[in-house]
């Protein structure tokens, strides 16, 4: 398994091969030899072709279109494409989440990871924010670093993945940005608190410098506590995250983008906290609605033993005084999702990916 060949196929099979937790220690020497910092770049087109070869027996990827949202004049710099996605931890998908209408064959990691990579490669984000990442070290970090991304991972302290037999380690949040577009100025791993207690939820916040404009901005990724009955807990976590982000952005002097699975509908307190924050944040996907004031009807849709779960839980927040949303990727329709809902042979996660193109405001010094 440690031998390297020049073909894309051999390169991919070595780097992306999923290792069980037992195999990780067994092949530690091999993993060290495959240090991505010492390996050649991968052409994204070659990797996409490789994924499509693995997926040739599955249905084709769903067609989703970008909706143009920009109303003002063209920007003088390339837009910044940000992708937010809870990709579904492999250990949870196979061992805990009980997607009763999803065949276990559809959750097979060797193919599901190719569906995830295909989605990422199709939209070519400049910045990628992921939750429920439990194959960071053997799949995402080796591959995405070779695609030109700088990679950061912050696992949950007590990941539920660890309760699943043959797990691949803890899940957590991961943040990736293209090194040729941005320079890392500051990075903070944040363990969220609630009622002064440290919790199992985390966030990553990084201040980047845009090479095109020289402008600074902060990108953050988080995943708040799940389940009904934990609304006050999520609210406290959100307050803690906002306090941290106020400090990092110097009270909104540095523009901010926050991506996350908040596990909260727009009716929850934590949503109102972000909407009403002094950081002057707006939710990008509201702009897809006719009045610009309503969130999408769903960002996750699944069937569990308790019944059908259709919720809006995922968001991309942004500093509306300093950033413009040029476009946003439309959601899957109910017809595309199908009666068995998500995940499926067509789609690898129970959450939809969100993708937005941002540009800096031409009047960044405008009052908040």
CATH homologous superfamily of 77-363:
Endonuclease/exonuclease/phosphatase (3.60.10.10)
- What does the pLDDT read at residue 296? 97
Query: In which residue ranges of the chain is pLDDT below 70?
Result: 1-38, 72-74, 363-368
Beta strand 197-210 with 182-194: parallel, antiparallel or unpaired? antiparallel
- What does the pLDDT read at residue 93? 94
Spatial CB neighbours of 322, under 8 Å, sequence gap ≥ 6: 217, 255, 360, 361, 364
Q: How far apart are CA 342 and CA 299, in angstroms?
A: 11
- What does the pLDDT read at residue 217? 98
pLDDT 10s digits, 19-53: 333 334 333 443 444 565 567 899 999 999 999 99
- What does the pLDDT read at residue 30? 39
Q: How far apart are CA 208 and CA 281, in angstroms?
A: 18
- What does the pLDDT read at residue 289? 96
- What does the pLDDT read at residue 72? 64
Side-chain-side CA neighbours of 54 within 13 Å: the count stands at 24
- What does the pLDDT read at residue 183? 98
- What does the pLDDT read at residue 86? 98
- What does the pLDDT read at residue 216? 98
């Amino acid at each position: 398994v440690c031998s390297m060949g020049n073909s894309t196929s051999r390169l991919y099979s070595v780097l992306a091969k999923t290792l069980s937790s037992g195999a990780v220690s067994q092949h530690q020497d091999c993993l060290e030899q495959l240090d991505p910092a010492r390996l050649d770049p991968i052409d994204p087109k070659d990797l996409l072709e490789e994924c499509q070869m693995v997926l040739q027996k599955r249905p084709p990827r769903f067609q989703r279109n970008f909706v143009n949202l920009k109303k003002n004049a063209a920007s003088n710099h390339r837009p910044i494409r940000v992708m937010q996605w809870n990709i579904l931890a492999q250990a949870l998908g196979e061992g805990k989440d009980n997607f009763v209408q999803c065949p276990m064959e559809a959750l097979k990691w060797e193919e599901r990871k190719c569906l995830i990579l295909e989605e990422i490669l199709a939209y070519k984000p400049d910045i990628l924010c992921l939750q429920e990442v439990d194959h960071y070290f053997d799949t995402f970090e080796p591959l995405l670093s070779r695609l030109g991304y700088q990679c950061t991972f912050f696992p949950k302290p007590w990941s539920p993945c660890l309760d699943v037999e043959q797990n691949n380690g803890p899940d957590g949040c991961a943040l990736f940005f293209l090194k040729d577009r941005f320079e890392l100025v500051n990075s903070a791993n944040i363990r969220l608190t609630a009622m002064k207690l440290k919790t199992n939820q985390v966030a990553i916040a990084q201040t980047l410098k845009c090479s095109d404009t020289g402008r600074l901005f902060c990108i953050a990724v988080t995943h708040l506590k799940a389940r009904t009955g934990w609304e006050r807990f999520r609210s406290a976590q959100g307050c803690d995250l906002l306090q941290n982000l106020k400090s990092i952005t110097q009270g909104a002097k540095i523009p901010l983008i926050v991506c996350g699975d908040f596990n909260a509908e727009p009716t929850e307190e934590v949503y109102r906290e972000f909407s009403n924050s002094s950081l002057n944040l707006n939710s990008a996907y509201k702009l897809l609605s006719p009045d610009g004031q309503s969130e999408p009807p769903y960002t996750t849709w699944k069937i569990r033993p308790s019944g059908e779960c259709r919720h809006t839980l995922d968001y991309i927040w942004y500093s509306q005084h300093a950033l413009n949303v040029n476009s946003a990727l439309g959601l899957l329709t109910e017809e595309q999702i199908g009666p068995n809902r998500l995940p499926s042979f067509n789609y690898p996660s129970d959450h939809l990916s969100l993708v937005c193109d941002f540009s800096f405001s031409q009047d960044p010094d405008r009052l908040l």
